[in-house]
Structure 1
Amino acid sequence: MKKLLICIAVLLCTVTAQAQFEQNKWLITPSITGLGMSYSGQEKFSLGFEAEGGVFLMDNFALLINAGADIKDRGDDRTSLGAGVRYYFDQTGIYIGSKFKYDNYDFYTGGHKNDATLGAEVGYAFFLSRTVTVEPAMYYNQSLTDQDYSKFGVKIGFGFYF
């Protein structure tokens, strides 16, 4: 039974992915992060918004730029800008990504902090149509200045491929 379920899952992954990961295609991926499911030592609740856009430099390999913002439970807010790459495994929709971000934190106490993070993510692009995807992913962002600002979380977004 277990083997049958695994075979069905693999089949669904290969059937739903389409040829949108080709060179010179463009993508835009707005997403919601956190949703109460991310955690770090500095924050207990975080709701974030992120948008990425980029171009496939070669088949299955995209160069991205991103911008984002987080709303925290204590009123500490974060904005970020960065760049990254994403690799899609051939026609399955599964992807891995890496990014570098510059973060600016504004604290409710009046101070602020600048930080840089290296991030990694793994996700799946589930095609709703030829050009629109739902993209759930797990991510980890490693702070380069303070371990308490490193974050593990889950996000869900949409992908638009042109």
Structure 2
Amino acid sequence: MKKLALAICLLVVSIAAQAQFEKGKMILNPSVTGLDFSYNKNDKATFGIGAQAGTFLADGIALMVNLGADWSKPVDEYTLGTGMRFYFNSTGVYLGGGLDWNRFRYDGGSHRTDWGLGIEAGYAYFLSRTVTIEPAVYYKWRFNDSDMSRFGIKIGFGFYF
């Protein structure tokens, strides 16, 4: 009996989640925890913040815009980018990718900019009908300086309207 009740609960949750990935819905995804643990050759481990916002162009396909900042020594990094997310059915599993622009500021006052491509895979776990917690893994590849490429994990919250 418990297995049947669990199956019914999961079915109800997946039906509610599907409604959130429909065309015309909007998503706001801040990393309010500030957790963005990542690794690259220069910084080893860093912590940062970020936010994404977007709209669903079709069922399960979202156009995203993102902003981010990472104040790690010896390099501060600021990010602006755009990309897409593809949600698989109503499970909440997604793949994303996009292009971003980064500005790196070094301790000595020098700075430079770079473009990069990013990919991510994550899961939108619904805490309520419109609020999710979204763990993800990602890789950001830099065009000009591969040492600034980054692999990491992040945890954020999603708000679906």
**Shorter-chain TM-score: which interval?**
0.7 to 0.9
Counterpart CA distance in 2 for 1:13 and 1:136 is: 19
Using the size of structure 2 for normalisation, the TM-score is 0.87
**For residue 6 of structure 1, what is the aligned residue in structure 2?**
none
* Greater Cα shift, 150-159 or 23-32: 23-32
How far did 1:14 drift? 6.3
Partner deviation per Cα, 1:51-75 (whole Å, 9 max, x = no partner): 0001000000000111100121x24
Number of equivalenced pairs = 150
Work out the percentage of aligned pairs sharing the same amino acid: 46
Where 1:148 maps in the other structure, the secondary structure is helix
Counterpart CA distance in 2 for 1:13 and 1:123 is: 19
Using the size of structure 1 for normalisation, the TM-score is 0.87
Residues 43, 85 of structure 1: alpha-carbon distance in 2 compared, 3 angstrom cutoff? same
1:22 counterpart letter in structure 2: E
2:57 counterpart letter in structure 1: L
Q: Please tell me the root mean square deviation across aligned C-alpha atoms, in Å.
A: 1.8
Task: Please state if 1:154 is matched with 2:153.
Answer: yes
Partner deviation per Cα, 1:4-35 (whole Å, 9 max, x = no partner): xxxxxxx9976644120000000000124433
How far did 1:99 drift? 1.2
Q: Does the 8 Å contact 2:40/2:147 carry over to 1?
A: yes
Which 4+ residue blocks in structure 1 deviate beyond 6 angstroms? 11-14
Counterpart CA distance in 2 for 1:152 and 1:13 is: 32
Task: Please state if 1:25 is matched with 2:22.
Answer: no
Residues 154, 13 of structure 1: alpha-carbon distance in 2 compared, 3 angstrom cutoff? farther
**For residue 54 of structure 1, what is the aligned residue in structure 2?**
54
**For residue 3 of structure 2, what is the aligned residue in structure 1?**
none
Where 1:110 maps in the other structure, the secondary structure is coil
Counterpart CA distance in 1 for 2:9 and 2:145 is: 41
The answer for unaligned runs of 5 or more in structure 1 is: 1-10
Q: Does the 8 Å contact 2:104/2:113 carry over to 1?
A: yes
Q: Does the 8 Å contact 1:139/1:153 carry over to 2?
A: yes
Partner deviation per Cα, 1:102-142 (whole Å, 9 max, x = no partner): 00011011110101110000000000000000000000000
Counterpart CA distance in 2 for 1:34 and 1:75 is: 17
Q: Does the 8 Å contact 2:85/2:94 carry over to 1?
A: yes
* Greater Cα shift, 17-26 or 94-103: 17-26
Q: Does the 8 Å contact 2:103/2:114 carry over to 1?
A: yes
